[in-house]
Amino acid sequence: MREQGMRHHTMQEIWERGIRDVMDDAIAEASDGTDGIYLSIDIDVLDPGFAPGTGTPEPGGLAPADLLRAVRQVALRTNVVALDVTEVCPPYDHADLTVNNAHRLIWETLAGLAYKRCH
């Protein structure tokens, strides 16, 4: 990642600085030198209590409300040209929690893009 100039932000940084400040930095970094953003959301960024249907659950992750707000900010503040949601594993997804969160992430992105287009 370092060799390719990639940047990442940890949960520790989000806990210490707050998601708004970290998202401001992430959006600025992702937007630097590009005309479009490919938004790829790995569902295991959510705490497994909210997204158990993934191959690599990571305790201590985000809550859905925080991720939904973050995704909407990306859609509102950048030129999202493509989107995917990865790591959803339906056989592990009791009660459809993971797929419902994945669905809502796509919906939030589309809603942000639609809002921006109409305003």
Confidence band, pLDDT 50/70/90 cuts, at residue 34? very high
State whether the Cα torsion 94-95-98-103 is positive or negative: positive
5: pLDDT strictly greater than 90: no
Measure the CA–CA gap between 119 and 74, rounded to whole angstroms: 16
The per-residue pLDDT for 71 is 97
pLDDT recorded at residue 4: 87
The pLDDT tens digits for 68-82 are 999 999 999 999 999
Q: What span, in angstroms and rounded, lies between the C-alpha atoms of 62 and 103?
A: 16
CATH number of the domain at 11-118, please?
3.40.800.10
Given a cut of 90, is residue 6 above it in pLDDT?
Answer: no
What are the domain boundaries of the chain?
11-118
How confident is the model over 20-46, as a mean pLDDT? 95
Q: How confident is the model at residue 22 (pLDDT cuts 50, 70, 90)?
A: very high
Q: What is the mean pLDDT of the segment spanning 18-37?
A: 95
